[in-house]
């Protein structure tokens, strides 16, 4: 069974440029999460999807960040425009359902560097 | 809001020895889940072990076991017979059992970097 796929693995951009990250969850997983992991920190949730619906986006900085999961499968996280402080690892995770007993499976993440 | 604290930024252990990683958490809830995740340099977070708060018995997965002290809000991870492949960042995480916005998210500690000495 394929795991959570993320691309690109690395991205370097100039500040004020837009950037997008893509995530393909494990087949059949209805719940998808985007996490932000700053250097030396644990991941922090940005947004959670149940199928195509964003059910928790309270920690997503909506002035510059957006996300979509149009068909309830793969998802894209976008930053526009990027700032120096956005340099971090962006992790995607998926689980079979939203209940707390459901294990979250993580992808390898995208490391973003903003110059 | 729940918080998770890992007070050991770095730890080291000799190969084949035992090491214990510490974690404390703060919550007003009575039912919840606790996890230890491993993050190797490849960055992919891997679930090591899970503990349900209502279970008194400490969880065990092969060489990994936990010491769950609910009253003290402590959740330590013991790695026995340490192997070179155990070298990684280890994150303690909390998850509420109750529904509602934000409740199913994992709240992570800052992590402990474990080095294994050959």
**Residue A1: what pLDDT?**
66
Whats the size of chain A, residue-wise?
115
Phi, psi at B84, each rounded to 5°: -55, -35
- Of B32, B42, B111, which has the smallest distance from its Cβ to A108's Cβ? B42
Instruction: Determine the pLDDT at residue B110.
Output: 96
Closest-CA distance of chain A to residue B101, Å? 6
CA dihedral of residues B47, B7, B106, B3 (deg, nearest 10):
160
Q: How far apart are CA B89 and CA B38, in angstroms?
A: 6
Q: Does A38 touch chain B (CB under 8 A)?
A: no
pLDDT at A104 over 70: yes
Q: What is the pLDDT of residue A101?
A: 77
| Burial class, A49, CB count within 10 angstroms (exposed 0-12 / middle 13-18 / buried 19+) | buried
Token reading at B40: 């190797």
Provide the pLDDT for residue B101.
52
- Whether the CB-CB separation of A6 and A92 falls below 8 Å is answered with yes
Beta bridge partners of B34: B51, B94
Check residue B8 and give its pLDDT: 96
pLDDT for the residue numbered B102:
55
**Residues with pLDDT less than 70, chain B:** 99-103
Confidence of residue A42 (pLDDT cuts 50, 70, 90): very high
Specify the pLDDT at position A48.
92
A42 close contact with B: CB closer than 8 A: yes
- State the nearest Cα–Cα gap between A87 and chain B, in angstroms: 15
* A99 contacts B102? CB cut-off 8 A: no
Contacts of B28 (CB under 8 A, 6+ apart): none
Find the length of chain B: 118
For residue B103, the model assigns a pLDDT of 59
What is the average pLDDT score of chain A?
A: 93
- Percentage of chain A surpassing pLDDT 90? 82
DSSP 8-class letter at B53: T
- Give A54-102 pLDDT, tens digit per residue: 988 888 999 999 999 988 899 999 999 999 999 999 999 999 877 777 8
Which tens digit of pLDDT belongs to each residue from B40-49?
988 889 999 9
Alpha carbons A86 and A55: distance in angstroms, whole number: 23
User: Look-up: residue for tokens 């899970």?
Assistant: B50
pLDDT at B1: 74
């Amino acid at each position: 069974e394929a795991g959570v796929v993320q691309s690109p693995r690395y991205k370097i951009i100039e500040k004020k440029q837009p950037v997008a990250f893509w995530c393909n969850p494990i087949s059949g997983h209805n719940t998808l999460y985007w996490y932000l992991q700053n250097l030396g920190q644990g991941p922090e949730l940005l947004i959670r999807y149940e199928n195509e619906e964003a059910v928790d986006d309270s920690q997503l900085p909506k002035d510059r960040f957006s996300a979509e999961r149009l068909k309830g499968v793969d998802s894209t996280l976008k930053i526009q425009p990027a700032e120096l402080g956005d340099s971090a690892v962006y992790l995607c995770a998926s689980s079979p359902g939203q209940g707390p007993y459901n294990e979250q499976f993580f992808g390898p993440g995208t490391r973003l560097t903003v110059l | 809001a729940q918080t998770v604290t890992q007070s050991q930024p770095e730890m080291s252990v000799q190969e084949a020895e035992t090491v214990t990683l510490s974690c404390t958490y703060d919550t007003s809830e009575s039912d919840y889940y606790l996890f230890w995740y491993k993050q190797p340099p490849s960055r992919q977070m891997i679930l090591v072990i899970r503990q349900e708060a209502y279970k008194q018995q400490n969880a065990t997965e092969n060489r990994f076991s936990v010491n769950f002290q609910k009253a003290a809000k402590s959740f330590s991870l013991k790695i026995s017979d340490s192997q070179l492949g155990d070298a990684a960042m280890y994150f303690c995480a909390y998850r509420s059992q109750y529904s509602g916005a934000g409740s199913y998210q994992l709240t992570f500690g800052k992590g402990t970097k474990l080095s294994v000495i050959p």
